[in-house]
Amino acid sequence: MNITVWMATALILLAAILLPRVGLAAIYRSYRAAQEREQVEDALKHLLDREHQGRRATPESIGGTLDLPRAKTIQLIEHMEAQGLVESHGIELRLTAEGERWALHVLRAHRLWERYLADEARMPLNKIHGEAQKREHSLTEAQLNELDAALGHPTRDPHGDPIPSREGKMNRAEGMPITAWQAESPARIVHLEDEPALAYQQILAAGLRLGQDIRVIEKNSHRYVLSDGESEYKLAPAVASNIYVTALPESEMLKREAIPLAELTHGQRAQIVALDDSVQGFTRRRFLDLGLTPGTAIHPELANFFGEPRAYRVRGTMIALRNDQASQIWVKPV
């Protein structure tokens, strides 16, 4: 290779490394900036979680959560203080108003992604948390609002945790651990704690799910036995404590008198009572767009030779629903 070719090659390589927008150095800077942003957002989520628990974050708690050595943790905290995101009060750390706004944005992104992955991507529930953590840093406010609208503005993630609104407001978490439930009456599962992961996997493997009505039929220091009227679920107390329940709502009495829309006979008229709790995401949005709201009159009008889909008359319009869809709509015959 002569000196001219060598110099040309060297210049090309140098340009590839140093070009301000597309060079390797620029790519590396972009990568480092994204990595630092993720670290800040993970720390802000930790502070928000601590504050919701009524506790304060410390350098030690941040370092433990993010798996950072103390020197790196202190450097991260100083960076967040310089950005006006946190304030130090002795060894305790508190979010500023801007820090809380940013933390709620990330939390909202995480829980909306979990809703999408569970309802639309049909990803196993024990996988969605880790995948949502990878995606939660990627959406702008406008993109997040679009995802929220497309999913039908859900208020809870697949574990039962509240999803912050676009205005930055968040409902209080519901329920108490089933191990603290003293009543003999049935209770509804409103939250399944996904950490530790091993306990969550045992709950899912047992077949327990959000929205399920259960009753404690046996409890001692070794196990809890739960029943939904058909099956029994035996769990260690440490695992059962990750199941949060609340009393059945008064509106449940109406639902208990209702039947699935799919069970209506031809021409039988009914009034919609509720959409099943399992209807979320795009499916819920489509049902609402079709006018399938509580109080609406509906009846089957046309049968299908093959059984489904079946045609229903609602708000003067004919719509077609598969049996599995109609089974998720609770109605009261009139």
Q: Which mean pLDDT values do the consecutive 10-residue runs of the chain (334 residues) have?
A: 63 58 59 82 94 91 94 94 93 94 96 94 92 92 93 91 91 88 87 91 94 91 92 95 88 72 90 85 87 93 78 92 91 90
Burial of residue 183 (CB within 10 Å: 0-12, 13-18, 19+) is exposed
pLDDT of residue 53: 85
**Domain-embedded: residue 74:** yes
- In a domain? residue 103: no
* Domain end call among 207, 225, 248: 248
Show which of 248, 274, 299 is a domain's final residue: 248
Whether 67 is in a domain gets the answer yes
- Domain coverage including residue 68: 3-95
pLDDT of residue 250: 65
Q: Sign of the CA dihedral 92, 98, 104, 109?
A: negative
Tell me if 123 is assigned to some domain: no
Q: Is 231 exposed, middle or buried (0-12, 13-18, 19+ CB in 10 A)?
A: exposed
Same domain, 258 and 244: no
Distance CA 106, CA 95 (A): 14
Q: Could you tell me which residues come within 8 angstroms of residue 181 by beta carbon, excluding any fewer than 6 positions away?
A: 187, 216, 245
* 270 and 242 in a common domain: no
The long-range contacts involving 284-287, CB below 8 angstroms and separated by at least 24 positions, are 284/151, 284/152, 284/154, 285/150, 285/151, 285/152, 287/325, 287/329
State whether 223 and 287 are in the same domain.
no
Task: Determine the Cα–Cα distance for residues 146 and 139; give it in Å rounded to an integer.
Answer: 10
Same domain, 187 and 217: yes
CATH number where 26 lies: 1.10.10.10
DSSP track, 217-235: EEE-SS-EEEE-SS-EEEE
Residue 252's pLDDT is: 65
What's the pLDDT score for residue 2?
Answer: 61
Number of domains in the chain: 3
242 with 259, same domain: the answer is no
Q: Which of 212, 230, 248 is the last residue of a domain?
A: 248
Judge whether 271 lies within some domain: yes
Distance CA 61, CA 272 (A): 49
Question: Within a domain: residue 108?
Answer: no
> pTM of whole model > 0.85?
no
The encoded tokens of residue 298 equal: 């509906």
- pLDDT for position 272: 93
- Whether 216 is in a domain gets the answer yes
Residues 259 and 298 placed together within one structural domain of the fold:
yes
Q: Domain with 194 in it: what CATH number?
A: 2.30.30.90
Distance from C-alpha of 315 to C-alpha of 309, rounded to nearest angstrom: 19
Flag whether 288 is in a domain: yes
